[in-house]
Structure 1
Amino acid sequence: MERPTPYLLIGLLFLCSVLGFGQTKVSGIVKDEFGDPVAFANVLFKNSTQGTITNDNGRFYMESEKRYDTLLVSFIGFETTEVPLASKVNYNMEVVLMEGSEKLDEVVIYVGKQSKKNNPAIDILKKIWANKQKNGLYKYKYYEHDKYEKIEFDLNTIDSAMMKSRVFKGMEFVFDNMDTSRITGKTYLPIFINETFSKVYGDNGRKLEKEEVLGTRNSGFEGNQSIYRFIEDLYSDYNVYDNYLKLFDKSFTSPISKTGVDVYNYVLADSAYIEDKWCYNIIYYPRRKNELTFKGDFWVNDTTFALKRINMQVTRSANINWVKDMYLEQEFELVNDSVFLLKRDYMLNDFAFKKKEKAKGVYGKRTTVYDNYSFDKPKPDKFYKTEPDPFSPGLAQRDDAFWEKNRLESLNENEKGVYQMLDTLRTVPKFKSYYNLVSILASGYVEIDKWNLDLGSVYSVIGNNEAEGWRLRLGARTYFGQNDPWRLQGFMAYGFKDKKVKFGIAGKVMVDKKNRIILSGGTRRAIDQLGGSLTASNDVLGRSVASSGILTVGANNRLTNIKMSALNVQMEPFKNVRVQVGAAHRDMKSALPDVFSLDYIDPESPTGISSTTKQFDIQTHLLYTPGRRVVGYGVEPKTVDNNYSLFFLNYTKGIKGTWGSDFDYEKLQLAYAQPFTIGGFGRLKTSVEVGKTFGEVPLSLLSVVPGNQTFFTIFNTFPNLDFYEFVTDTYASVHLEHNFNGRLFSRIPWMRKLNWREIVGVRAVWGSLSDENIALSSPTNIPLEAPTDKPYYEYSVGVSNIFKVLRVDFNFRGNYLDNPNARPFAIRGAIGFKF
């Protein structure tokens, strides 16, 4: 299942007087002489370098603090049109371009689809590539600078109908803080602001960088992990000089990249002095629709070929969901008369259900300002390896004096009013109801603030399996904030078929903040599906989707009744390196012994056979996740995204005799997972896992190849296998899945508008099972087989983004088709909000 973070954003879309006027505002549409809209036309204030590009529907909006009386509108193949501006504000203009061709300041304008040969714009682009390592921070071995970041969310397209709607009854005062976007011209209402000030240090030679956060300030949804995870994932940093820019977990082709010439048209449009430096202006726009590309323009210096300014706007035909408009803008500052360094980075996203012009939605805006650059001040390795104390008092919420001194870009009057407005809004009962609804959708928990308790997850209240029948499950956890140093959580469940109560309780506490030493432990009595994963876990409250799904394929009757208690200690000696040592005791027996037996040969039993395995294990594992980013510093930090690799090493030692433990054995497991973004060709997920058990153990302790009898697509499982169809004591598996993100379908004319995304996958496993282990579990009533003679494999093709939320995979079994009840074909799917 997809993670629920975007639900918070989608929920905000439902929660839909002072206006800030600049000196000149214009909006309208550009058409040709036949009345058809002209997309990607260049709109410019005359005698300035301020301009914009019309969108796919020929529409534009632009504003300036300066007063201008003429607008220049141009496009390849048309005559440049001068439009007089009668007043400061000129809305709903209609500009008609006539066919023709011309020259601007001795710069040749090419007509039609731009050629890659003899194009002066591409000649300049090649010089940008050749000089990019000499420009910006790359020029210096060591660097440091200040960084101020402001992230804001706003309700947009505010109109009188919205202001008078019942949704805002009793909250009309919020509209006193409305403003107008300088990018789109739409009115908006700020609902959330987060500010961060930090110091950044870097060493280009060793490719090291460290950011020390010196202060943060937020309003609106402080303490809500879901929105912070969403923000961190959404607004990851990017370098416009890279070939691909990662935005929304997708790779957009940069207009400055070497691959850009294959997907963009480039036009050398103008040249002018900017801050006493002669610069060229190049317009670019996509060659094809539906690809992850931008339209816009950039200014580049004529000697260093460093960027001075760039604007990037995603076309509405791009295969991306829930984003009506996305606009990026970077400005570079001249330093030392020859070096241009990033001064300001601005990003605006217009999130909406529909891409229609009048659709209401939510703006997500990030402004980052860089200042006080200094160079050639080396730092030792220890400096970069030392992490700041995240629990430092005063760091989280700095006072007004701190921000007056360190805020590198002032808040406007409406932004300043948001802090006070939201303090008032939180006292309004209706707003609390809206907030609680959105929070439940995002986190799955119902917050009880006065008790510092969360109830949930609401997504696991109802379940069904053949042992319990229909099942109700209620859970709860303590929650004071995202940096909680301790947490208690538990659940109770009742099955209407077996008429039994199940429960689990666990707790964890951080005893050392510096090394993140955490003690955890708990106990559980439940029915679970142990055949859903190869890698063992001491997570007391962990539960398999396979044992709680409402619908399954075939008979889901190979379930285990488990009683488990565990105690663990973990620490993080280095960033993203976690070491854990723990002990666990399990009692395991079949929940449905008539159809699924866990019996094994036991000479000490009066019958010679035992049905219950009692086992005490000591488990040690190492988890390394380079590149992983998290939100929160408490006992349960939340991962921001899945764009990181994973290395997992696990050693388990079973000790016979301890608390009635039945077996001596050892198990070694190694897993590696790595996502790859392959330029504009999509994203590849890979996973490799190997393991071996030393010693004789029964079925309950063997490594089961994870089948998938649910209707959901679950990575690292085999959808054409039943649970326990293959059992091993030695195994090796590999899973590959590639999502082309619609690159192939976009080349098929009749499929372009569907915005479907194609997925292909292949997975395989080899394993063996010793004769001794087969003999030990011979009393069981299910066949024991391992894919020894040849690896078992499957392959699949799938389509995602159907109606923007649905994914369907068609899975094919490659071999072992003669196995009893073998499924040669399976359909699986998933529902989730993905960009």
Structure 2
Amino acid sequence: MKVFAPYFNKVLFTVLVLLSSFTVFAQTKVSGVVTDAKTKQPMPYVTVTFAGTTIGAGTNAEGRYTILTTQDVKQIQVSFVGFRTAVRNITPNQEQTINVALSEDNRNLSEVFVKSAKKKKYSNKNNPAVELIRKVIAHKAQNQVENYDYAQYKQYERMNVSLSNLSEKFKNKKIFKNYQFLFREQADSTAMGGKILLPVYQEEKMSDNYYRKAPYAKKQVITASKQVKYDENFVDNNGLKSYFDRMYQDINIYDNNVSLLSNQLLSPISDSAPTFYKFFITDTLKDVTPNLIELSFTPRNTTNMLFEGRIYITMDGNYAVQNAFLTVNRNINLNFVRKMQANLSFEKNPDGRFHLSQSDLKIEFAINKEKGGGMYGERLVNISNFVLNQPLEKKTYEGPSQVVALNAEEKNDAYWQEARPDTLDAASASIYKNIDSLQTIPSFKKTMDIATLVLAGYKNFGKFELGPANTFYSFNPVEGFRLRVGGRTTPELSKRYYFETYGAYGFRDEKFKYFLSSTYSLNNKSIYSFPQNYIRASFQHDTKIPGQELQFVQESNFLLSFKRGVNDIWLYNDIFRLDYVKEYSNHFSYSLGFKKWDQTPAGALLYQNLLPNGDLNNVNRLKTTELSAQLRWAPHERFYQGKLYRVPIPDKYPIFTLNYTQGIAGFFGGQYNYQNVVGNISKRFYFSQLGYTDVTTEGGYLFGKVPFPLLDIHHANQTYAFQLQSYNLMNFQEFVSDHYASIFVDHNFNGFFFNKVPLLKKLKLREIIDVKALWGGIRSENNPANDPSLLRFPTNIGEGGVGTYTLGSTPYVEGSVGVGNIFKLLRVDLVKRFTYLDNPGAPEWGIRFFVKFDF
């Protein structure tokens, strides 16, 4: 049999080639460009079909189209609302190019009547436009893909991001002398993005997509992927990709709320659309099949989170959307958005209903909405080979919602030229090569080096980077003036081994502090890339404030040096850790840890208990040894990976975390046996025009008898920065518990009320309310009042007389009202503490600040 194998393979290969050749010759392929006969400009989103069939496609942003079929066809039909439908003869079973110029159809406006010069007050009552939109709303369920039992299709995506609206003066600056090959000029200077663009990013994806109604499953298999990639020492490419994907995400007009940037805009066909929108019938088209009605819409309040534009409704009884053009009013309370437009095209299914065939989302961002440079991005999605109600093998729908094929990034240029549904223009095709060439220019590397130092705080030296810069200098009551210098290795040294270290010195306590860690990557990827899989060993000898919890900020950050009230409760810590972290592509992760922790009180903090003879005893050191495990699941999580930490991109999906810690006495010097279980759930809830709410709930229970430093020390904040996950008017180490439950609620109205106040709506401020509540307590076995051998709760610490307490039947509650979007990035909260005001040093009121870059 082995003798005949080569011969058999050759025969099989020859047969396959002949079959594929036959398929090619039996196929009709038509390409071309559709233009406006009057302006000669290309027309995007025009529907081109083979006459008498449902096989077709929409033109792209440059007016180009490509359609193909194996059926016996003789004509193509080109149609667009407001233009006369064109029919062209074609030659069957051949590849050909047919360009079409469409003429305006003025007959569509013949039914417009002018009854009075007086403007009639808009009303939903007896309004045919409102009656029509109500019929569209009533038929939404049947017109969505989710109404089918099964669906499968191929999807092509392309995203481009450029610096936009640049001037000739900017382009010709000396700094860009070596970068002229990067600039791109558009023929139409009035087009979105302006005449001169500077491309900075491009990404393409091909995928197979599968949907099953019951049990519900939606899966995307990315078969090919191509992306502009920068030097990993400066830019996290996966993080950049996630950030742009979040900014330019899918638009489903059939959803009640459409996600746009970090907000949700009410869809013009949402259930409550007639309450917030005005609708007008502006055109009827009777020479297309099916007949269409053009329905224009505009917000009742132009500053609200709403679209404006027009949709085209089929008059065949389905009341489906065939085309949609969405944009936003220039007065909308949406930060940095100069222009936005989305074009959606739908194709007819064999059963007469429609599915999305193409979407094109364009957004231009700028600090100044009127003039000056900005950033322009476009995401084009093309859907083809749409197949309905043909179930596949069960395993097709199983597993993660998104899977990347192993060879997805290995496709060559020939593959992409064949796979793209349109032709990539020369300027776009050269972006990949241009960015690669850019990174070989020494001046660009120097510029990125400076940018990394300014934005991320690190100075890159190739295999090692120095930083972060904002920790070089700080001060506190224990250490006084503190100097720190540190750094870490980069993937240029090794993709397997990573080292990080710093050294610090306090001029008041005259003590050195230091940190050293060594990490080994188990998947031969950077430990800062998703998904992580590594082992890390570290040792730290440094100071810490009990109960201070920081998010995305280094503890030695200079800005944290400024604190309110008494701030002399500190610890000296010696911590050895050994951690294993494993993440999966479905965003489930677990970690296992070993921790040996020696803590010594510092500053005004004392650890004291009573000896059997009644004498007061100072305890200088507590020793614990812990084993820990954490489970975390964050479905569909997206984040931007910075140089030190991840910044999650908020979304509607919840995040679940479960932590278990086991303290072991007698193991590596540990003094206590205990178990601690903590569960946390966080989620963002969207409420359409009323904004969104971020909710975090947490509960914990500690089993065993331990001194108060090992209890749950609730997260306090004595800085002037508003912290979402800490109690902003609680003093450090003020409350401890061995069992507790908490809830954090932060609601942003997105300017819903301010937008209705004439003097405020121009400022585009946003109103915010925040409530935090904590229930807890300690069991009698952990109360030092019942056992003198336990460490006593500190009282009257420092000049302010603050101390440590336990919660009673009354929860700790604080709340705030805030004004956000001040200068588009500042939030100011007036915070009030409602309970436990009798505790020494407890503030009742406070002003806190929060800097947040938001859209």
Structure 1 length-normalised TM: 0.82
Q: How far is the alpha carbon of 1:569 from its aligned partner?
A: 2.8
- What amino acid is the match of 2:504? A
- What amino acid is the match of 2:813? Y
- Corresponding position of 1:473: 484
| Secondary structure of the structure 1 residue equivalent to 2:183 | helix
- Corresponding position of 1:276: 289
Residue 546 of structure 1 contacts residue 709 of structure 1 at CA under 8 Å; is this kept in 2? no
- Corresponding position of 1:402: 415
Q: How far is the alpha carbon of 1:639 from its aligned partner?
A: 4.2
1:220-259 alpha-carbon deviations (Å, 9 max, x no partner)? 6475324223212212323111111111111111111122
Q: 1:598 aligns with which of 596, 607, 614?
A: 607
- Corresponding position of 1:261: 274
Residue 646 of structure 1 contacts residue 674 of structure 1 at CA under 8 Å; is this kept in 2? yes
Counterpart Cα distance in 2 of 1:413 and 1:382: 41
- Corresponding position of 1:694: 703
- Corresponding position of 2:473: 462
Q: How far is the alpha carbon of 1:770 from its aligned partner?
A: 4.0
1:686-835 to 2 correspondence within 5 Å?
Answer: 686-771=695-780, 772-774=782-784, 775=788, 776-778=790-792, 780=794, 782=797, 783-835=803-855
Q: Does 1:117 align with 2:125?
A: yes
Counterpart Cα distance in 2 of 1:518 and 1:292: 43
- Corresponding position of 1:531: 547
Residue 182 of structure 2 contacts residue 434 of structure 2 at CA under 8 Å; is this kept in 1? yes
1:364-383 to 2 correspondence within 5 Å?
Answer: 364-379=377-392, 382-383=395-396
- Corresponding position of 1:129: 137
* Bigger mean CA offset, 667-676 vs 777-786: 777-786
- Corresponding position of 1:315: 329
Residue 192 of structure 1 contacts residue 221 of structure 1 at CA under 8 Å; is this kept in 2? no
Counterpart Cα distance in 1 of 2:82 and 2:619: 81
Would the alpha carbon gap of residues 656 and 420 (structure 1) be closer, same or farther in structure 2, given more than 3 Å must change? closer
Would the alpha carbon gap of residues 559 and 105 (structure 1) be closer, same or farther in structure 2, given more than 3 Å must change? same
Counterpart Cα distance in 1 of 2:821 and 2:498: 37
Q: How far is the alpha carbon of 1:793 from its aligned partner?
A: 0.9
- What amino acid is the match of 1:253? L
Counterpart Cα distance in 2 of 1:714 and 1:779: 26
Q: Does 1:586 align with 2:597?
A: yes
Q: How far is the alpha carbon of 1:430 from its aligned partner?
A: 3.3
Higher Cα radius of gyration = 2
- Corresponding position of 2:352: 338
Counterpart Cα distance in 1 of 2:117 and 2:123: 12
Q: How far is the alpha carbon of 1:627 from its aligned partner?
A: 3.3
Number of positions where the alignment pairs a residue of Structure 1 with one of Structure 2: 748
Q: How far is the alpha carbon of 1:710 from its aligned partner?
A: 0.7
Q: 1:422 aligns with which of 435, 458, 463?
A: 435
1:693-737 alpha-carbon deviations (Å, 9 max, x no partner)? 222212321111221101111112111111011222222222111
Residue 531 of structure 1 contacts residue 706 of structure 1 at CA under 8 Å; is this kept in 2? yes
- Corresponding position of 2:164: 156
Higher relative contact order (CA 8 A, sep 6+): 1
Residue 475 of structure 1 contacts residue 492 of structure 1 at CA under 8 Å; is this kept in 2? yes
| Secondary structure of the structure 2 residue equivalent to 1:591 | strand
| Secondary structure of the structure 2 residue equivalent to 1:192 | strand
Q: How far is the alpha carbon of 1:487 from its aligned partner?
A: 4.1
Q: How far is the alpha carbon of 1:796 from its aligned partner?
A: 0.7
Would the alpha carbon gap of residues 375 and 176 (structure 1) be closer, same or farther in structure 2, given more than 3 Å must change? closer
Counterpart Cα distance in 2 of 1:307 and 1:659: 69
Would the alpha carbon gap of residues 158 and 554 (structure 1) be closer, same or farther in structure 2, given more than 3 Å must change? same
Residue 603 of structure 1 contacts residue 609 of structure 1 at CA under 8 Å; is this kept in 2? no
* Bigger mean CA offset, 485-494 vs 229-238: 485-494
| Secondary structure of the structure 1 residue equivalent to 2:125 | coil
Would the alpha carbon gap of residues 581 and 548 (structure 1) be closer, same or farther in structure 2, given more than 3 Å must change? farther
- Corresponding position of 1:286: 299
Residue 35 of structure 2 contacts residue 101 of structure 2 at CA under 8 Å; is this kept in 1? no
Q: How far is the alpha carbon of 1:815 from its aligned partner?
A: 2.0
Residue 362 of structure 2 contacts residue 377 of structure 2 at CA under 8 Å; is this kept in 1? yes
Q: Which 5+ residue runs of structure 1 have no aligned equivalent?
A: 1-19, 28-46, 52-64, 75-79, 81-101
- Corresponding position of 1:618: 627
Q: Does 1:140 align with 2:119?
A: no
Would the alpha carbon gap of residues 393 and 734 (structure 1) be closer, same or farther in structure 2, given more than 3 Å must change? closer
Counterpart Cα distance in 1 of 2:405 and 2:350: 37
Q: How far is the alpha carbon of 1:577 from its aligned partner?
A: 2.6
Residue 360 of structure 2 contacts residue 381 of structure 2 at CA under 8 Å; is this kept in 1? yes
Counterpart Cα distance in 1 of 2:384 and 2:697: 45
- Corresponding position of 2:58: none
Residue 229 of structure 1 contacts residue 638 of structure 1 at CA under 8 Å; is this kept in 2? no
- What amino acid is the match of 2:363? N
1:765-798 alpha-carbon deviations (Å, 9 max, x no partner)? 1222345442411284543311214112111100
Q: 1:348 aligns with which of 358, 362, 365?
A: 362
Q: How far is the alpha carbon of 1:22 from its aligned partner?
A: 8.1
Counterpart Cα distance in 2 of 1:455 and 1:589: 30
- What amino acid is the match of 2:323? R
- What amino acid is the match of 1:734? I
- Corresponding position of 1:99: none
Q: Does 1:170 align with 2:170?
A: no
| Secondary structure of the structure 2 residue equivalent to 1:720 | coil
Would the alpha carbon gap of residues 779 and 427 (structure 1) be closer, same or farther in structure 2, given more than 3 Å must change? closer
Residue 737 of structure 1 contacts residue 759 of structure 1 at CA under 8 Å; is this kept in 2? yes
Would the alpha carbon gap of residues 789 and 434 (structure 1) be closer, same or farther in structure 2, given more than 3 Å must change? same
Q: How far is the alpha carbon of 1:379 from its aligned partner?
A: 4.2
1:159-191 alpha-carbon deviations (Å, 9 max, x no partner)? 322222334233233335555478537213233
Q: 1:662 aligns with which of 671, 674, 677?
A: 671
Q: How far is the alpha carbon of 1:567 from its aligned partner?
A: 1.6
Counterpart Cα distance in 1 of 2:222 and 2:772: 43
Residue 651 of structure 1 contacts residue 666 of structure 1 at CA under 8 Å; is this kept in 2? yes
Residue 265 of structure 1 contacts residue 287 of structure 1 at CA under 8 Å; is this kept in 2? yes
* Bigger mean CA offset, 251-260 vs 625-634: 625-634
RMSD: 3.8
- Corresponding position of 1:490: 501
Residue 311 of structure 2 contacts residue 325 of structure 2 at CA under 8 Å; is this kept in 1? yes
Q: Does 1:648 align with 2:650?
A: no
1:498-537 to 2 correspondence within 5 Å?
Answer: 498-511=509-522, 518-533=534-549
1:654-710 alpha-carbon deviations (Å, 9 max, x no partner)? 111112111112222222222211121111111222222222212321111221101
Q: How far is the alpha carbon of 1:380 from its aligned partner?
A: 5.1
Identity %: 26
Q: How far is the alpha carbon of 1:600 from its aligned partner?
A: 4.4
- What amino acid is the match of 1:472? L
Counterpart Cα distance in 1 of 2:117 and 2:587: 52
| Secondary structure of the structure 1 residue equivalent to 2:130 | helix
Counterpart Cα distance in 2 of 1:475 and 1:164: 40
* Bigger mean CA offset, 505-514 vs 144-153: 505-514
Would the alpha carbon gap of residues 267 and 213 (structure 1) be closer, same or farther in structure 2, given more than 3 Å must change? same
1:52-71 to 2 correspondence within 5 Å?
Answer: none
| Secondary structure of the structure 2 residue equivalent to 1:644 | coil
Q: How far is the alpha carbon of 1:454 from its aligned partner?
A: 4.1
Counterpart Cα distance in 1 of 2:509 and 2:162: 51
1:262-305 alpha-carbon deviations (Å, 9 max, x no partner)? 11110011111575321110111111121111111111111121
Residue 24 of structure 1 contacts residue 66 of structure 1 at CA under 8 Å; is this kept in 2? no
Q: 1:251 aligns with which of 264, 269, 282?
A: 264
Counterpart Cα distance in 2 of 1:441 and 1:130: 54
Q: How far is the alpha carbon of 1:523 from its aligned partner?
A: 1.6
Q: How far is the alpha carbon of 1:385 from its aligned partner?
A: 3.5
Residue 732 of structure 1 contacts residue 765 of structure 1 at CA under 8 Å; is this kept in 2? yes
Counterpart Cα distance in 2 of 1:273 and 1:521: 73
- Corresponding position of 1:32: none
